[in-house]
Each structure stands twice: as structure tokens, then as C-alpha cells.
């Protein structure tokens, strides 16, 4: 699977290397932090790591903390299994990621910044390091940022471990060489982050949009895609489509257009559902594709979320109860163990799902599933637990007949994005 060519008319800015590298960094240095954050807020740039937080506001908050040291971190860990939108981005536009991070560091007042990457992303690591080394040699980065004498050291930090490392508080601990479990927020990393200092953590796709915004203006960006969450997003569409791969999609694009851009159903297959949002995502039936925009709010309204940008097309050969149960088991296995409703609740949910798969479920199991799913989500310390029930809930909601007579098609609880 690789990057797919987007249909004509779809704005492409994340994958497009800037025609004038470092022009945006120079502009940010000239404009100053207040003007840079104001531009990002006017543009409406929201984080692409799942939570959808306003990037300009996050940087303002980080910059406002009284501290002798602040940090900026690019989250390129990409924790969901078999998803590689961030890897492709770092390979194809490492300049955009490094420049976005340099602008973040400059804006929040950091002298040191890190790009956290999965250790097996060797090609991405090589390309990112090449950009940094060249920029240091040209005195754009390093001991004299843009020749001003101010220091900005950017380092690529390969990490390897569980999927929880993608969560920002765990990521910061992993960077500090510590064992990680998520921390309750607030306080956010913008207040207490890497080594206890204020830290701006952003997904690599969020950062790669920043040079484009500073080069082309807030208005141009705000006019792309969904007005509540403008810009483009990276979507990995795989499974029963003719052309699996990664697409750069204007936010708000209806799901049927994304499927069409991937060539529609694979030969001999008919897509019956999309699993949107990775292993904690939701199943969306084909009859809703046309009316569901690819946006945080649009997906939430049908029980799914953007998450890692993964979209899996499923045809008639896939049994939804089986897949939903397997995903729930994955969530249980990945739970870090800190929160009891997550550690134990997700495992019990998987057991209920298995009874449906085995044809042994009773109507009481259908009830239990709904109640336990609500308890698990309510008890969430991090979004892993808040979202873990989504596959089973949306499976039951939209594919009740596959779960057998024990299910009377109850409705799924809407989910939130990971944060
Ligand atoms: C279980 C879990 C896994 C996550 N994995 C990732 C990840 O792989 N990449 C990422 O950028 N954010 C991930 N996040 C979100 C981060 O905690 C954080 O919100 C994000 O990196 C902030 O960047 P943004 O403001 O650009 O979205 C995850 C969150 C949770 C709860
Ligand atoms: S909700 Fe789950 S994954 Fe998140 S901190 Fe608690 S046990 Fe760990």
C-alpha cells in the first residue's frame, strides 16, 4: 500500500513539499509568537492526533507558563497497528514536519525539540535526520537559529513499545527513559510536560500543516474542508477496496467519496461497512456513507472517530461480531492496567462479544454489554478506555442481525476523539 493520487479539486498540502523551504520559519521569526499563534487560531488548525485541540491555543498556553525551559515535541509514534499515514508523511515531506516543529519551538520558547518516531520507521528517521543536518549546516537550525545566535536543537528520538506510547503523557515519559502509563489531565503537557517543563506536543500531520498556513495565510487554510475543523487529513483506506492506500482528504469529505477515490469495492466484493478510527473505531454501514462527512463531529454522530485516520472497508465475507470482539480483545491486551474499569472491563466486554460469536449469548448479555460499555467509558482515565467499546456498540447498533436474536438493536453511545 502506498499514497494514492487524490481526485482533482482536493487540496493537497501536507504531502506537498514547500516550494520555499524555511520561508515559514523566517516569517514566524519575524512576526513573533503572538502573531504566529493568532494566525494558526484564525486558520482554525486543530490537532490531527485525535483530540482536535486548537494548535494555536495549545502553543499560547505553553508559551505563557513561567519556566526557565520549555520543549516542543512532534508525535510521530503512530500507535495504531498497521497504520502508516504518519510514516508516509515523514518520508515524503520530512521538511514540512521539521519546519513545523521548529516553528512550534520558536513560538513556545523552546531551545530543544524532539521528533518521537517508531524505531522501525528507519527510512523516515533517515530523511528527518537529513533535513535537520542540512539545516544545521546552513545555520538555519542548531546553535544559531536563522543566524540569530539563539539555539534550537532538534533531535529524532526512535521509540519502541506498546501502543500507549502514542498517548502524549506516556510519550513524554518514554522520551525521558521512564516506564509509561497515562497521567490524569489537566495539568496538560503544556503546563507540566517533558521533565516537568511546559511542552507543546503535536502530531506530525498537525505540524506539517503549519508552514503551509504561514506561507499561504489563515484565510486560504480556513476555506479548505469543514469550517469547524478546516484543512486536510490523512486517511488510510484498506480492506475490500480496489486501490488500498493513503489519501490526503479535505476534512468533511463524505465517506462515499473517499471510498470512490480508492476505486470503490474490490473486484468481486461489495462493501457493507467501514471501520473508521482504527481498533477503537466504529463500524459505519454502507447506507450511511453518503451522509457522513469525514470530520470529528460527523463521525461522532455515527459512533466512530477520526483517531489514527484508519478506514477499513469490509465486505460480506466479514463477520462483524467476530471482528468487533477481536478488536475489543486487542484493547484489553493493550490497556496499561492503571484504571480498573479499563483493565478488567474491556476484558469482560470481549468475553461478552465472544459469547455472541459462539452463539451462546442471552438477552441479558445484550443488556450487560450496553451497561458495561457505559461504565467503561465513564471510568476512562485516557481515551483508550473511552473509545474501546465503540466496535461492539456500533456493531450491535448497525448489524444487530449478525449478533443473533439476543440483540434487540439498542443504540450506540456516541464516542469522543482520543486526546
Ligand atoms: C491511547 C492513545 C493513543 C494515542 N496515539 C497517538 C498517536 O499514535 N499519535 C498521535 O499523534 N497522537 C496520539 N494520541 C493523542 C496524543 O495523546 C495527543 O493528544 C496528540 O499527539 C496531540 O497532538 P495534536 O494536538 O496535534 O492532535 C493518542 C491518545 C491516546 C489516548
Ligand atoms: S484507561 Fe486504560 S489504557 Fe488508559 S490509563 Fe486507564 S488502564 Fe491505562
pLDDT tens sequence across 194-227: 999 999 999 999 999 999 999 999 999 999 999 9
pLDDT of 120 > 80? The answer is yes
Which residue, judged by its Cα, is nearest atom 7 of ligand 1?
A: 166
Share the mean pLDDT of the chain. 95
Distance 335 CA to ligand 2 centre (A): 5
Which residue, judged by its Cα, is nearest atom 29 of ligand 1?
A: 167
Does residue 417 sit within a domain? no
Q: Quick one: 301 and 374 in the same domain?
A: no
Q: Which pLDDT band holds residue 414 (cuts at 50, 70, 90)?
A: very low
Long-range contacts of the stretch 253-257 (C-beta < 8 A, 24+): 253/10, 253/225, 253/293, 253/294, 254/289, 254/290, 254/291, 254/292, 254/293, 254/294, 255/284, 255/288, 255/289, 255/290, 255/292, 255/293, 255/294, 255/311, 256/289, 256/290, 257/7
Look at residues 315, 347, 380 and tell me which one is the last residue of a structural domain: 315
What's the CATH code of the domain at 370? 1.20.1440.230
What's the CATH code of the domain at 143? 3.40.50.11540
Q: Quick one: 195 and 268 in the same domain?
A: no
Q: Which pLDDT band holds residue 177 (cuts at 50, 70, 90)?
A: very high
Q: Compute the average pLDDT of residues 280-299.
A: 97
Q: Quick one: 19 and 82 in the same domain?
A: yes
Q: Quick one: 172 and 279 in the same domain?
A: no
Q: Ligand 2: which of 181, 345, 375, 387 to mutate, most ligand atoms within 8 Å of CB?
A: 181
Using DSSP's 3-state secondary structure scheme, residue 413 falls into coil
Continuous segment of H or E residues that includes residue 89: helix 85-92
164 lines ligand 1 (CB under 6 A): yes
Range of the domain at 387: 320-403
Does residue 194 sit within a domain? yes
167 lines ligand 1 (CB under 6 A): yes
Q: Quick one: 34 and 162 in the same domain?
A: yes
Does residue 412 sit within a domain? no
pLDDT of 418 > 80? The answer is no
Does residue 411 sit within a domain? no
Domain count, the chain: 3
Q: Quick one: 259 and 380 in the same domain?
A: no
Does residue 415 sit within a domain? no
Does residue 418 sit within a domain? no
202 lines ligand 1 (CB under 6 A): yes
Look at residues 222, 243, 267 and tell me which one is the last residue of a structural domain: 222
Q: Quick one: 333 and 310 in the same domain?
A: no
Q: Quick one: 262 and 145 in the same domain?
A: no
Look at residues 252, 287, 315 and tell me which one is the last residue of a structural domain: 315
Does residue 369 sit within a domain? yes
Distance 79 CA to ligand 1 centre (A): 8
Q: What is the pTM of this model?
A: 0.95
CA of 180, nearest ligand number: 2
383 lines ligand 2 (CB under 6 A): no
Q: Quick one: 143 and 33 in the same domain?
A: yes
Which residue, judged by its Cα, is nearest atom 3 of ligand 2?
A: 335
Q: Quick one: 204 and 236 in the same domain?
A: no
Rounded Cα distance between 150 and 206, Å, is 25
Rounded Cα distance between 359 and 368, Å, is 16
Does residue 200 sit within a domain? yes
Q: Quick one: 299 and 347 in the same domain?
A: no
343 lines ligand 2 (CB under 6 A): yes
Angle at 70 between CA 156 and CA 124, to 5 degrees: 15
Percentage of the chain modeled with pLDDT above 70: 97
**Cα Rg of the chain (Å, integer):** 21
Rounded Cα distance between 233 and 252, Å, is 10
Contacts of 153 (CB under 8 A, 6+ apart): 111, 112, 113, 141, 142, 143
Nearest partner of 101 among 190, 26, 198, 208, judged by Cα: 208
What's the CATH code of the domain at 297? 3.10.20.600
pLDDT of 186 > 60? The answer is yes
Distance 365 CA to ligand 1 centre (A): 33
Q: What is the dihedral of CA 127, 130, 134, 140, to 10 degrees?
A: 60
Distance 86 CA to ligand 2 centre (A): 24
Amino acid at each position: 500500500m502506498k499514497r494514492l493520487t487524490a481526485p482533482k479539486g482536493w487540496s493537497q498540502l501536507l504531502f506537498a513539499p514547500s516550494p520555499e523551504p524555511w520561508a515559514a520559519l523566517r516569517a514566524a521569526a519575524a512576526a513573533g509568537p503572538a502573531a504566529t499563534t493568532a494566525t494558526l487560531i484564525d486558520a482554525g488548525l486543530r490537532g490531527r492526533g485525535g483530540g482536535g485541540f486548537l494548535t494555536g491555543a495549545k502553543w499560547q498556553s505553553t508559551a505563557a507558563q513561567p519556566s526557565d525551559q520549555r520543549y516542543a515535541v512532534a508525535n510521530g509514534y503512530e500507535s495504531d497497528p498497521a497504520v502508516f499515514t504518519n510514516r508516509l508523511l515523514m518520508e515524503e515531506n520530512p521538511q514540512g514536519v521539521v519546519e513545523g516543529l521548529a516553528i512550534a519551538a520558536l513560538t513556545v520558547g523552546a531551545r530543544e525539540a524532539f521528533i518521537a518516531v517508531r524505531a522501525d520507521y528507519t527510512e523516515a528517521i533517515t530523511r528527518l535526520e537529513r533535513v535537520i543536518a542540512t539545516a544545521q549546516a546552513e545555520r538555519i537550525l542548531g546553535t544559531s537559529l536563522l543566524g540569530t545566535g539563539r539555539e534550537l536543537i532538534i533531535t529524532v528520538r526512535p521509540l519502541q513499545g506498546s501502543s500507549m506510547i502514542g498517548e502524549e503523557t506516556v510519550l513524554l515519559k518514554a522520551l525521558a527513559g521512564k516506564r509509561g502509563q497515562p497521567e490524569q489531565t489537566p495539568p496538560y503537557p503544556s503546563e507540566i510536560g517533558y521533565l516537568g517543563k511546559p511542552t507543546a506536543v503535536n502530531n506530525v500531520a498537525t505540524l506539517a500543516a503549519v508552514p503551509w498556513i504561514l506561507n499561504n495565510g489563515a484565510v486560504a487554510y480556513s476555506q479548505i474542508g469543514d469550517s469547524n475543523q478546516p484543512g486536510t487529513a490523512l486517511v488510510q483506506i484498506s480492506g475490500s477496496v480496489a486501490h488500498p492506500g493513503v489519501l490526503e482528504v479535505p476534512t468533511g469529505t463524505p465517506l462515499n467519496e473517499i471510498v470512490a477515490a480508492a476505486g470503490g469495492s474490490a473486484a468481486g466484493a461489495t462493501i457493507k461497512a467501514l471501520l473508521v478510527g482504527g481498533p477503537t473505531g466504529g463500524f459505519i454501514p454502507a447506507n450511511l456513507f453518503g451522509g457522513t462527512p469525514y470530520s470529528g463531529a460527523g463521525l461522532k454522530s455515527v459512533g466512530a472517530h477520526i483517531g489514527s485516520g484508519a478506514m477499513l472497508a469490509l465486505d460480506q465475507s466479514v463477520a462483524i461480531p467476530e471482528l468487533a470482539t477481536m478488536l475489543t480483545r486487542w484493547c484489553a491486551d493493550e490497556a496499561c492496567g492503571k484504571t480498573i474499569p479499563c483493565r478488567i472491563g474491556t476484558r469482560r466486554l470481549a468475553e461478552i462479544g465472544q459469547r455472541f460469536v459462539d452463539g451462546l449469548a442471552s438477552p441479558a448479555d445484550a443488556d450487560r454489554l450496553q451497561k458495561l460499555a457505559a461504565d467503561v467509558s465513564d471510568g476512562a482515565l485516557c481515551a483508550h478506555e473511552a473509545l474501546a467499546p465503540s466496535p461492539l456498540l456500533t456493531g450491535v447498533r448497525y448489524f444487530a442481525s449478525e449478533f443473533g436474536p439476543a440483540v434487540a438493536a439498542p443504540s450506540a453511545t456516541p464516542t469522543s476523539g482520543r486526546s
